[in-house]
Structure 1
Amino acid sequence: MQDKKKLILEAALRCFARKGFNATSIQEIVDELGMAKGSIYFYFKSKDDLLVSLIEYYGELLFMEMREQPGETILPPREKFIVQLERQYRFILKHLDFMKMLIKEPSTGLHPPIQEMIVRLRAKSQLWNVSHLAAIYGEPAAPYLADASALVSGMWSQYFEALLFEEQVFDERQLSRYILRRLDDLVNGLLRSGETPMLPPMDLAKLRNMAGLTEEIVTEELQLLAKLEGKIVATASERGEDVQRDLLDALALLKEIVEKPATGHRLLVKGMLALLKEHAADDLEETFNRLDGLIGGANA
């Protein structure tokens, strides 16, 4: 982003955080910057355009922090959730003005482009929740993913508001682990109860479209690997932590080979599949045979 445009966004953000969007004038923003009023219109058509750009800029920064970083692919799902939640907390702490502005300007009553931007960010957040929940709790929790996503968002928002309005600062590691343990309590309670979920299953294709993401191509190989991952996560208590980590590492490596195919991986694929098969349930024999044919044969 151009330096001048970024300076305007930062000045506007400070003004919106102090007074709110509706109460802030363009003149106040240029006074904050010390520039001529006409200069701002070279970069932004209107105050609404400025707000849309603000939400888009800082929203994308936030989701960049929440994306999987190099070296995190091999982390177990629980640890991956924790480190990404920690980064989200650090972002909020660093950009409190942006968060205050969002709280002051709810999506209701705003112009359509601004509403659309907020809906897009919400959809991205829901996708992030569901992907982590599915990886952590596996297939048994599938009927409750929408409910669990709503519950974890509610928990997180309360600590977020304590930070914003009561200026309570938390230890990021301690808070992330605490939230995950409470999420364990919630999901395990739902599974034990056998209750009918309150929310219907999420339409992931619709969410991806709302989030402005390109359609994800899910191959048969990735579907089979996802099935294996769900089984392995669901039966984690049956094996040691080191073995569980090895199995998740093997799955991550196989996913990488599927997504970025290259020759010469046949023996590696065979070894990873053998490791997974050794610790998997007997009813997955057909899944392993199919994967061996799809991946093992294709990487000869």
Structure 2
Amino acid sequence: MQDKKKQILEAAIRCFARKGFHAASIQEIADELGMAKGSIYFYFKSKDDLLISVFEYYVEMLFDRMEGLPEEKGLPPRERLMVQLERQFAFFRDHLDFMRMLMKEPVTGLHPEIRELMLRFRSRIKVWNISHIIAIYGDRAEDFSGDASILLSGIVGQYFEAILLEEVKLDDRRLSRFIVKRLDDLMHGIQLADEAPIMPKPNLNKLRELAGLPVETMDGKKALLQELRHSLTASDTSSADEKEDLLSILRQLEDEVDKPAPKRLFVRGMLALLKQNAPSAWHTNLERLEEQLKRS
């Protein structure tokens, strides 16, 4: 993004946070920057257009922080959620003006495009939550992933409010780990209760479509095998010979799973070899893979 356009967006958010969208004027934003009012109209057609751009700018920045980094691919799923939550809280504290603007007035009713952006935002949060929940707790958690996503969002949202409204100073790393431990407690309680879920089982592909994300066509077994291969490639905990042996097993498994009628005994043998030799960080994904292979 051009520096000047970025400066205008950041000045606009400060003005909207102080006065609200309706009360703030383009002239005040120009004064904030010490530039001519006409310069803003060179980049944005109207105040509505500026507000829409503010939303797009901050939402994309937030999701950049929430997405996994290449060096995190080898981390266990629970650890990945912790570090991504930690970055999310750091983003929140670094951009309190944007959050204050959201609290100042119901901006979602100002423009149809804003409502559409918020729908995409909510869907993307759900995809993010549910993907992490299934990665950590396996396919058995899928039926309850809609309820778990709401509970996770509720916990995170309440801490956001405490930071914003009560100005509580929190340690992002400790908080993110505390939240994931409480998510463990919730999922354990849900599974022990043996109750029917409140929310219907989410359709991840439909949610991805609503979020403006590409729909995943790869089936679960292939996706898990691919994730294991990526994590092995990124890992520096195995020797070159161990890596080559594990990669060979993974390739053979992928080839067999791809066949119309995979040989069950061969698949079971390859899976047993993986479980015997794989790093401990693979434990959850191997359990999920075993469940999926049993059902196929």
TM-score normalized by structure 2?
0.79
Unaligned runs of at least 5 residues, structure 1: 227-247, 257-264, 291-300
Other structure's SS at 2:161 match: helix
- Aligned residue for 1:98? 98
Q: Give RMSD over aligned pairs.
A: 2.9
Compute the displacement of 1:271 (Å). 3.9
Render the CA deviation track for 1:171-206: whole Å, top value 9, x for unaligned.
Answer: 111101111111111111111111111111112122
Q: Is the 8 A contact 1:75 1:249 kept in 2?
A: no
Q: Which residue of 2 aligns with 1:127?
A: 127
Once residues 245 and 273 of structure 2 are traced to their aligned partners in structure 1, the CA distance between those partners, rounded to angstroms, is 12
- 2:268 counterpart of 1:270: no
> Bigger CA drift: 63-72 or 31-40?
31-40
- Fraction of identical pairs, as percent: 55
How high is the TM-score relative to the length of structure 1? Answer: 0.78
User: Are the counterparts in 2 of residues 208 and 215 from structure 1 also a CA contact under 8 Å?
Assistant: yes
Note closer, same or farther for the CA distance 1:285–1:21 as it changes in structure 2 (3 Å cut). Answer: closer
Offset of residue 270 of structure 1: 3.3
Which SS does the other structure have where 1:42 is aligned? helix
Deviation at 1:67, TM superposition (A): 0.8
**CA 1:73–1:275 in 2, change beyond 3 Å: closer, same or farther?**
farther
**Secondary structure at the counterpart of residue 157 of structure 1:** helix
Q: Does 1:252 align with 2:231?
A: yes
Shift of residue 63, structure 1, vs aligned partner: 0.6
| Contact kept in structure 1, 2:108 and 2:118, CA below 8 Å | no
Match of 1:183 in 2: 183
Aligned to 1:168: 168
**Alignment CA distance shift 1:129-1:284 (3 Å):** closer
Q: Distance in 1 between matches of 2:209 and 2:197?
A: 24
Deviation at 1:44, TM superposition (A): 0.5
State the AA in 2 paired with 1:75. L
Cα gap change, 1:11 to 1:74, in 2 (>3 Å): same
Cα drift, residue 211 of structure 1: 1.2
Q: How far off is 1:107 after superposition? A: 5.3
Q: How many residue pairs are counted as aligned between the two chains? A: 259
Which residue does 1:239 correspond to in 2? none
Call closer, same or farther: CA 1:173–1:286 in 2, change over 3 Å: closer
Deviations 1:216-252 (A, max 9, x none): 23147525649xxxxxxxxxxxxxxxxxxxxx96673
Partner Cα distance (2:211, 2:37) in 1: 34
Once residues 286 and 94 of structure 1 are traced to their aligned partners in structure 2, the CA distance between those partners, rounded to angstroms, is 42
Task: Tell me the secondary structure at the aligned position of residue 168 of structure 1.
Answer: coil
Please state how far the C-alpha of 1:82 moved relative to its aligned partner.
Answer: 0.4
Write the letter of the residue equivalent to 1:211. A
Aligned position for 2:293: 287
Does the aligned pair in 1 maintain the 2:20–2:105 contact within 8 Å? Answer: yes
Which residues in structure 2 correspond to 1:1-300 (within 5 Å)?
1-106=1-106, 108-219=108-219, 221-222=221-222, 225=225, 252-253=231-232, 268-272=246-250, 273=270, 275-278=273-276, 284=290, 287=293
Gaps of 5+ in 2: 236-242, 251-269, 277-282
**Structure-1 separation of matches of 2:223 and 2:233:** 12
Counterpart CA distance in 2 for 1:77 and 1:157 is 22
- Contact 1:222/1:255, CA 8 A, preserved across alignment: no
> CA separation of 1:67/1:275 partners in 2, compared to 1, >3 Å: closer, same or farther?
farther
Supply the distance in 2 between the matched residues of 1:220 and 1:158 (Cα, whole angstroms): 33
Q: CA deviation at 1:269?
A: 3.0
Name which of structure 1's ranges 204-213 and 49-58 shifts more when overlaid on structure 2: 204-213
Q: Distance in 1 between matches of 2:208 and 2:165?
A: 32
Distance in 1 separating the partners of 2:291 and 2:151? 36
- Whether contact under 8 Å (1:65, 1:87) holds in the other structure is yes
Counterparts of 2:127 and 2:292 in 1: how far apart (Å)? 30
